[in-house]
Amino acid sequence: MASAAPSVPDVADRTADVLVVGAGPAGSAAAYWLATAGLDVAVLEKAWFPREKVCGDGLTPRAVAALQAMGIDTSPAAGWVRHRGLRVHGGGQVIEVDWPQLSSWPDFGLIRTRRELDHLLARHAAAAGARVHEGVTVTGPLLDDAGRVAGVHATVGEEGTARTWHARLVVSAEGLSGRLAKAIGLLRREDRPLGVAVRRYVTSPRGEDDYLDISFDLTAHGPSAATMPGYGWVFGMGDGTANVGFGLLDTRRAVDVDHRAVLRDWLTTLPREWELDDDHAVTPVRGAGLPMALHRQPAYTRGLLLAGDSAGTVDPFNGEGISYAMETGRMAAETAAEALAAVEGPAREALLRRYPRRLADEYGGHHRLGTGFLALMRHPDLVRFATAHGLKRPALVRAALRLTGNLTDGRNGDAVDRTVSALIRLARVA
C-alpha cells in the first residue's frame, strides 16, 4: 500500500482494467475479488490509513461470512472480538437472544473498530494484487466522447497535484457522497429512508461482554423527534472501552434533531455503574449518514458501477451496512470480471446492465419489508407496546432477529425461515 506521503503515480500506474474509488469495505472487497479474478485494479482512497469512520463496529454473521469468503482469519487470535448475540432492552423488558444456528451463516458476530477493519481490508486487497493509492481525492469522472465513464480526475497528496486515471470500468465505493454518480445524473431518491448513526467511545465496565446491548427506549424532545424510529447501542470493544451510540433509521421527519442531546438523554436512562457518561468519554460524539433501500439507481450506467453506500445498500430494518457493502463489492467485481471477458460492445453492456437487477433480486424484497417496518416505527405508542409485550416472548424475538437481520436458510430452512422467505418473495413482486 502507498505510504502516508505518496508520490504522484506515473502514467502507467494511472491506467487499470477497473478503477475502484474508495477503500472502505465495499471498495476493498471489490478490489480483492477483481484482483483474484486476474484483473488489473487500482483503488483510490482520499484518506491515509488508519482513519476514523463512524460506525457501531458490530459485525453480524452476514459480515462474518463475507470476511471468511475473502479468506480473512476471523479468530480471536487474529484480533477479533466475538459476540454470541444481542441483549435487547425495551418497555422495561430485557432479553438475551443468540445469533441463530443456521447452515448458511456463522453463529457468531464480531467486533472490530472501523479504523482497524478498513485498514485490514485494504491491506488484504493489496496482498491479492490490487494497487491501493492513499491520499488521492477524486474530483469527478473522466468521460469519453460517448459520455461514458472512462476514468476519473483526481488530486494527489496534500499538495493537490491534478492527475487523471483511465480504466475500462469504474466502481464507485465512495459512500454517501456518491460524487461520481451525482456527476452523471444519478441522484438520491428522496422517497427512500436516510438514517444517521451517532457514536463515541467510552471507558466502561461494559467493555467486555458476550452480547451487544440494543435498546429501543430511545427518546428525544420535540414532536418530530418523538416519531423517529431508532435504537441505542452499547457494544463492548473487548479492551475496556465501549462503542456507545444510536441510530435513527429514517430522518425525513426529524431534520432538526439535536443528536448530542438524544445521546445524552438516552444515556441517563442506563445504569450509572455502566459509566457511559461524559466523564468517561475518550472521543467526541461523531455522526454519519446511512443511505438505505437502494436509494440511488440504476446501480450501473455508462461504465460506472455503484457498490455499498454509493448504491444505498444499508438495511432499513437495522442500519447494518458493512455486510452489504462487502457483498455488493463482490457482486460488482463479479459483474465487471464477466463483462470484461466478453467482446466490447452490446454483449458486454448487456452483462453490465444485469447488475442493478441482481441487487434488486438480492435485496429488494427485504428492503421493501424494512421500509414498511420503518413506517410502523414512526408510531411511538405502537413501538412501546410491541417491545413491552414482544420481548416477553423469546420465540418471537428469535424469529424477529432472523427477519430483521436477513439471516435465514431460505426455503430449505425451518418454518420461520420459510415464512420469512415467503414474505420477502411477496414483497419483491408487490
Q: Which CATH architecture has domain 83-104+191-291?
A: 2-Layer Sandwich (3.30)
Phi/psi of residue 398, nearest 5 degrees: -65, -40
CA distance 314 to 214: 18
Q: CA dist 67 to 72, 117, 325, 332, Å?
A: 6, 10, 11, 16
Three-point CA angle 131, 134, 138, nearest 5° = 95
- Give the confidence band of 251 by pLDDT, cuts at 50, 70, 90: confident
For residue 351, what are the contacts with CB-CB under 8 A and spacing of at least 6? Answer: 335, 338, 339, 342
Phi/psi of residue 122, nearest 5 degrees: -65, -40
Amino acid 202: pLDDT: 97
Give just the sign of the alpha carbon dihedral 78, 79, 84, 85. Answer: negative
- Yes or no: say if 195 and 293 are a contact pair by the CB < 8 Å rule: no
| Residue 351 grid cell | 452483462
Mean per-residue pLDDT, 45-58: 96
pLDDT tens-digit map of 119-175: 999 999 999 999 999 999 999 999 999 999 999 999 998 889 999 999 999 999 999
CA distance 171 to 183: 14
Q: Strand pairing partners for 134?
A: 45
Residue type for position 355: Y
Residue with cell 471477458: 341
Answer whether residue 4 shows pLDDT above 70: no
Range in 162-171, 261-270, 321-330 the model is least confident about: 261-270
Q: What is the DSSP string of 281-310?
A: BSS--EEEEEEBSS-BS-SEETTEEE-GGG
At how many degrees (to 10) do helices 322-340 and 354-377 cross?
A: 160
User: Does the domain at residues 12-54+113-190+293-366 carry the CATH identifier 3.30.930.10?
Assistant: no
Q: What is the DSSP string of 342-409?
A: SPTTHHHHHHHTHHHHHHHHHHHHHHHHHHHHHHHHT-HHHHHHHHHHHTT-HHHHHHHHHHHTT---
Amino acid 171: pLDDT: 98
CA distance 388 to 88: 11
pLDDT tens-digit map of 116-125: 999 999 999 9
Three-point CA angle 324, 412, 66, nearest 5° = 25
CA atoms within 13 A on the CB side of 402: 24
For residue 182, what are the contacts with CB-CB under 8 A and spacing of at least 6? Answer: none
- Yes or no: say if 253 and 227 are a contact pair by the CB < 8 Å rule: yes
Residue with cell 460488482: 332
CA distance 414 to 128: 38
- Yes or no: say if 80 and 110 are a contact pair by the CB < 8 Å rule: yes
The residues spanned by each domain of the chain are 12-54+113-190+293-366, 83-104+191-291, 376-429
Amino acid 268: pLDDT: 87
pTM of the model: 0.94
Mean per-residue pLDDT, 307-335: 97
Amino acid 215: pLDDT: 92
Mean per-residue pLDDT, 166-186: 96
CA distance 16 to 24: 19
| Residue 354 grid cell | 444485469
246-260: buried (b, 16+ CB within 10 Å) or exposed (e) per residue?
A: bbbbbbeebeebebe
Q: What is the DSSP letter of 145?
A: T
For residues 251 and 342, the model is more confident at: 342
- Give the confidence band of 220 by pLDDT, cuts at 50, 70, 90: low
Range in 96-110, 217-231, 353-367 the model is least confident about: 217-231
CA distance 121 to 50: 11
Amino acid 11: pLDDT: 64
Give just the sign of the alpha carbon dihedral 143, 148, 151, 153. Answer: positive
CA distance 65 to 231: 25
CA distance 234 to 212: 6
CA atoms within 13 A on the CB side of 40: 9
226: left (phi over 0), alpha (psi -120 to 50) or beta: alpha
Amino acid 370: pLDDT: 93
